[in-house]
Amino acid sequence: MGGMVQTGRGLRSIARGSLSVFAVAVLACQGEDESPEQAMTMAGVRIVAPEGATEIMGSNVEIRLEVDGLDVVPAGTQQANSGHHHLFVDTDLTPVGSPIPADQPGIIHMGDASTSRVLENLSSGEHRIIAVLGDHLHVRLPVATDTVTIVVP
Ligand SMILES: [Cu+2]
């Protein structure tokens, strides 16, 4: 049964990913003199697991992330169109262009360029997780974020 659920999720994730790539391709074809800045705003992060608004098993959950239009590199690596992941757990977003706080509870820097993270010992109830990309200096990038709400039993 667990295998069935995994397969279903995988297929849905692939479908979502294909749709996003298609949407980006369509948008990219609309303007021939599109600036790099505009292209940059279509890039961003997607939470591919877990599915939103569903009750998870237990108090731990693995958040899996994918990006469009950027490379995921370790913090401190200065490279065009790149950044690293951050997770905001029940915490409001840092504005675009501002440094993402380093030692605030509820903000996780994934400075090792990882693309998944297990959140442990979540309290019972609803939790909002926002995925956010930051640059080599942990400044929030002007790209799409993604939010998922999970329910811990
Ligand atoms: Cu960071």
Per residue in 5-23, pLDDT (tens digit) is: 333 343 333 334 443 443 4
- Classify burial at 45, counting beta carbons within 10 Å of its beta carbon; exposed 0-12, middle 13-18, buried 19 or more: buried
pTM of the model: 0.73
The CATH number that applies at residue 127 is 2.60.40.10
CA of 110 to the centre of ligand 1 (A): 6
Of 91, 66, 69, 64, the C-alpha closest to 25 is 69
CA of 45 to the centre of ligand 1 (A): 14
CA of 12 to the centre of ligand 1 (A): 29
For residues 112 and 99, what is the distance between their CA atoms, to the nearest angstrom?
17
Percent share of the chain, pLDDT over 90:
67
CA of 121 to the centre of ligand 1 (A): 22
pLDDT band at 82 (very low <50, low <70, confident <90, very high): very high
Q: List the domain range (segments joined by +) for residue 77.
A: 2-152
Looking at the 3D structure of the chain, how many domains does it have? Answer: 1
